[in-house]
Structure 1
Amino acid sequence: MEFCPECGAMLLPKNGKLECNCGYNKDLSGNDGYEVSKKVEAEENVKMLGEDVDVAPTVNETCPECGHDKATYTLLQTRSADEAPTRIFKCTKCKHTWRAYD
């Protein structure tokens, strides 16, 4: 296996030469040891989890609406960079959201 010295991509055999998409090619004269035996097809490997799946961290925080003691949170920089970020909480039971400043 050889790689393009111009862009670093893998060189593929085509018409007696090793060719790259960037235009570089190398002659294969006297060397017939190159062949592509399998074409790899792209796969869809993104899994859709649905709208109600929350992968944010869970903490012990009491919801001001229902009193449940578990919530997820995200951090947002809502003020200047030298101040602490804002934590946005979301109750795991009733889905109520609220914010907390440090």
Structure 2
Amino acid sequence: MRFCPECKSLMIARSGKMHCRRCDYSEEITDSESLKVTKTRVEKEIVIVDEDDAIPTLPTCAIRCPQCDHNVAYWWLRQLRSADESEVRFFRCVSCSHTWREYD
């Protein structure tokens, strides 16, 4: 990240130059590694670590377990992707401890 020397605003890369959106200052990009173009978004593996001791303190709801058909499960929310996307609801069956997720 580079900041404008004139107004201290964040600069953006465009056409091989760094441009300031606020004051129109621009400069050439001299370091070839400072500009990296990617065509695909790289997803990192998401690891969810749950402490089994904390599970009984989670709230419960009436939902049918897809594995054993029990009708009560613990639930919690996690923000797995970027902040502009909705959270993912996780459920864990009280009876068989099967865990599944639901998206909005």
Q: Pick the TM interval, shorter chain.
A: 0.3 to 0.5
TM-score normalized with structure 2 length: 0.47
The structure where helix makes up a greater share of residues is 2
Higher-Rg structure is 1
